[in-house]
Structure 1
Amino acid sequence: MPRLLLSLVLLLCPMIAQAVPVSSAFPGAEMRGQATLRFLGLPLYQARLYTPAGRALDWQEDMALELTYLRRLSETDLVEATLREISRTGGPLPLRDQLLNCYDDVGRGDRYLAVSNGPDEVLFWRNGQRMCALSHPRIKQRFMAIFLGNNTRSPSFTRRLRGE
């Protein structure tokens, strides 16, 4: 029995370690919704939205978005996809250098946590490690709208993520 208990604790430790950054980076946040994004049927990542006390999304409040990757993607893929989606949903922004500081290659199980800090800053953690701050006027709305806005590539994904 003790061996089984130890095995369960060891299996759960990575999940517990991953949950800590959300509560420490965004006190009072609770998960609002979650969804898995697929491309041509292949799962790319699972997303979780955290809002104050799990309330409905309010663009005036801070929020956190956690992505758990389900496949390998390069830093270049992440930067280019982010720039492309920001441009598609509201026009281009000069963020390439900042994004290169925020992103690294990801593999299955890697997690990024993005936490807004007011309207003009988004803080990033990768696997619980602080990476960078993305700063630009209205960056919270512009970045988070890729996943949560009214013009996303997958409205059903967005509805589930928003907990609707």
Structure 2
Amino acid sequence: MAILQKTRPSLSRPNNPLWRAALLTMMLLAPGGLAASTVAAQLPNAELRGTATFRYLGLPVYDAKLYTPGGAPFSWSEDFGLQLTYRRNIKQKALVESTLDEMTRQGNSGMTQAQLETCFQAVSKGDSYLAVSEGPNKVGFWRNGRKTCTLSSPGVKKTFMSIFLGDNTRSASFTRQLKGQ
């Protein structure tokens, strides 16, 4: 390291407070930081309630975080935020079709493929989607901190969010962990 410092002082360890502040800012602007700040902007007083990793055939697909007002127990009558951070690449078609399949499996149809295609794009490892409810009939979506769409229809909050938080999810243990139970 001493040789590098003599030949390339710019490669030395960042002890400068300005350099450390810039590094911290970059870390906060990473997709996870953007999602957390988006939750705070869209859902005042939101606090992390629970986390869980969804696995398919034992392989991790995404990490989920549930934000509720003040970190209170989950309730369908309150607005909340759900963040998914993907651990693998998934094509838009697979994302949309699996969402439609899960809503249909639970008896909650009503969304169309075209509606979901406006909200969901392909994801790469590390990408995050955030869904924040606005009453029972509206859910806003952000991808890596940028708004992609708002779905508005009667009961859309429960229709969509039941995939992760309903009584008939693919993994009861995932749902319990996500709800912080």
Instruction: Give TM-score scaled by structure 2 length.
Output: 0.85
- Size of the alignment, in residue pairs? 164
Identity, % of aligned positions:
48
How far apart, CA to CA, are the structure 1 residues paired with 2:127 and 2:93? Answer: 16
Asked if 1:43 is matched to 2:56, the reply is: no
Pair 10,27 (structure 1): closer, same or farther in 2 beyond 3 Å: closer
Task: Report what 1:2 is aligned to.
Answer: 15
Find runs of 4+ consecutive structure 1 residues off by over 4 angstroms.
Answer: none
Amino acid at match of 1:86: M
Deviations 1:3-42 (CA, angstroms, capped at 9, x unpaired):
6846852662314333211111111111100000001111
Aligned pair partner of 2:137 in 109, 120, 141: 120
Instruction: Please give the root-mean-square deviation of Cα atoms over the aligned residues, in Å.
Output: 1.7
Deviates most, 137-146 or 94-103? 94-103
**Gap regions ≥5 residues in structure 2:** 1-13
Q: Is the contact made by 2:27 and 2:33 (CA closer than 8 Å) also made in structure 1?
A: yes
SS at match of 2:83: strand
How far apart, CA to CA, are the structure 2 residues paired with 1:60 and 1:19? Answer: 22
**Gap regions ≥5 residues in structure 1:** none
Map of 1:8-157 to 2, 5 A cutoff? 9=24, 12-13=27-28, 14=30, 15-157=32-174
SS at match of 2:106: helix
Amino acid at match of 1:2: N
